[in-house]
Amino acid sequence: MKKHQMLLTCLLVSSFNIMQADNAPKSDGPIAGNQLFELSKHEQELLAAKAAKGDSEAAFQLYQYYDLVASDRIESLFWLRTAAGLKHPIAEYNLGMFYLDNKYFNLPQAKQWLQQAKRDGVLQAEKELKKIETGEK
């Protein structure tokens, strides 16, 4: 389980849009990783409006905020499902991995989202599907 959480966190960080680095907090010292995902109430509202118009990246940013900063599991899952439904490849992968978690285990849903992520170019999704097929999961 910890392996999956670490992998998901790495994927979240690596999928973070490089252009947003300009918006990162300016500091001379180190910053915590979740500070990169901080959003003001106004930014949350703007992203929600964009997501409502079909912007998968906006939905994914809200997922990252609620998962990594606000630690709100219900909102996080809502935005993860929204981003995946809008064809965000990393969201598709993360949702598939979510459904492989023992607490939320749903193999058909996991396979569906991992297959979609694979079709959308997420290489790790193919590896996870092979693990499922060979019984490693």
Domain membership of residue 56 (yes or no) is yes
Give the pLDDT band of residue 33 (cuts 50, 70, 90): low
Give the pLDDT band of residue 32 (cuts 50, 70, 90): low
Domain membership of residue 70 (yes or no) is yes
* Sign of torsion over alpha carbons 117, 130, 102, 16: negative
pLDDT digits (tens, 9 = 90+) for 45-76: 999 999 999 999 999 999 999 999 999 999 99
pTM of the full predicted structure? 0.75
Domain that holds residue 47: 2-13+40-133
Domain membership of residue 22 (yes or no) is no
Domain membership of residue 18 (yes or no) is no
Domain membership of residue 35 (yes or no) is no
Domain membership of residue 119 (yes or no) is yes
Domains of the chain: total: 1
Give the pLDDT band of residue 22 (cuts 50, 70, 90): very low
Domain membership of residue 20 (yes or no) is no
pLDDT digits (tens, 9 = 90+) for 87-137: 999 999 999 999 998 788 999 999 999 999 999 999 999 999 999 999 876
